[in-house]
Amino acid sequence: MERKDRIDALGGVLLVSISMLLGLNQVLVKVVGEGMHPAMQAGVRSAFAIVPVLALALFFRRRLSISDGSLPWGIFTGVLFAVEFLLMFLALDYSTVARVSVLFYTMPVWMTIGAHFLIPAERITPVRALGLTIAVGGVVVAMWGRGEGENLLLGDIYCIAAAMMWAAIGLVARLTPMNKSVPEMQLLYQLVVSAIVLLPVSYLIGDQVRDLRVEHWGILVFQAVVVVGLGFSTWFWVLSKYPASDMASFGFLAPVFGVLLGWLLLGEELSVWIIAALVLVSIGIVLINRKPKAMAVR
């Protein structure tokens, strides 16, 4: 299949489906958090996900190599990945799916700021600056309207830090020899290293097992196979066939689905503050990813 110059019907359906899956993932993490500590959950999910990702990579005959100079950077991104998901899972332990969805998916904001300083071709334009301002305004609104709860602020801080870790992984993957690795290899680095880091950490923290039930294990398997294995692999396939800049415009859908599914499946309250923050962050992400118009040729 040749590369496309725009998002067609198939690409649109896949991107919306992936966004819905990512939104659902926040709900699943929240539910499994009732049965095990976030550190243990994140580590077990990474360990489980290695198998389907490796199987898919072998099935599609991807080149999996650690001898291309990517190994130290792969380990580094794996540590970042471990910190990212530990923070995000902890945030869901303290806060609601809606709040975490809005704040975690501010990743493009931090990615854009980092790229401005590290990638000369991706300077912040006036439109992007406006998008950044609006999105950060959404973050302020979400934190300002967090309501009562001593751990809500801590959860917000964890979530924003997790989004920054996610952005850092993207920048490292672009600017180092990690860019020689196929996406599946990059993901395997992150899964293997994060499992090695997080599982021992979960035992040091304590409170590994809470009210653990059979359905929690079923959800973890679903996350590993469907969310990480099929979902992430499909995302990489779409990325290989469609313009990345066009795909980025779908980025606002994941937090939208996260907020809606938290309300539908968990009965979370949709406060005015969360709705306002979601709208502002979504508008900001769209502006950040907006392609500049080509100048007319006379």
Q: 9-50: per-residue pLDDT in tens?
A: 888 888 899 989 989 999 999 999 999 999 999 999 999 999
Would the pLDDT of 247 be above 70?
Answer: no
Tell me the C-alpha distance between 86 and 93, whole Å.
Answer: 11
Percent of the chain that is helix, strand, coil (3-state, to 5): 75, 0, 25
| pLDDT-based confidence at residue 74 (cuts at 50, 70, 90) | very high
Tell me the C-alpha distance between 124 and 49, whole Å.
Answer: 36
DSSP letter assigned to residue 250 = T
pLDDT of residue 194: 96
The distance of Cα 119 from the centroid of its chain, to the nearest Å, equals 21
pLDDT of residue 75: 96
> Smallest Cα–Cα separation from 136: which of 152, 112, 158?
112
> Smallest Cα–Cα separation from 48: which of 195, 208, 151, 245?
195
Residue entry with tokens 């392609």 = 291
> Smallest Cα–Cα separation from 64: which of 54, 75, 72?
54
Would the pLDDT of 105 be above 80?
Answer: yes
What mean pLDDT is reported for the chain?
Answer: 87
Residue 239: CB atoms within 10 A of its CB come to 12
- % pLDDT > 70, the chain: 91
Would the pLDDT of 77 be above 50?
Answer: yes
Burial class (CB in 10 A: 0-12, 13-18, 19+), 222: middle
**Rounded mean pLDDT of 63-68?**
91
The distance of Cα 72 from the centroid of its chain, to the nearest Å, equals 22
The distance of Cα 198 from the centroid of its chain, to the nearest Å, equals 18
**Rounded mean pLDDT of 158-167?**
94
**118-142 per-position pLDDT tens digit:** 988 888 889 989 999 999 999 989 8
**Rounded mean pLDDT of 153-173?**
92
What is the dihedral angle through the alpha carbons of 287, 289, 88, 27, rounded to the nearest 10 degrees? 80
**199-241 per-position pLDDT tens digit:** 999 888 767 788 889 999 999 999 999 998 888 878 777 776 7
pLDDT of residue 123: 86
> Smallest Cα–Cα separation from 84: which of 169, 141, 154?
169
| pLDDT-based confidence at residue 298 (cuts at 50, 70, 90) | very low
Tell me the C-alpha distance between 268 and 14, whole Å.
Answer: 27
For residue 285, give the H/E element and its range.
helix 272-288
**165-183 per-position pLDDT tens digit:** 999 998 998 899 998 888 8
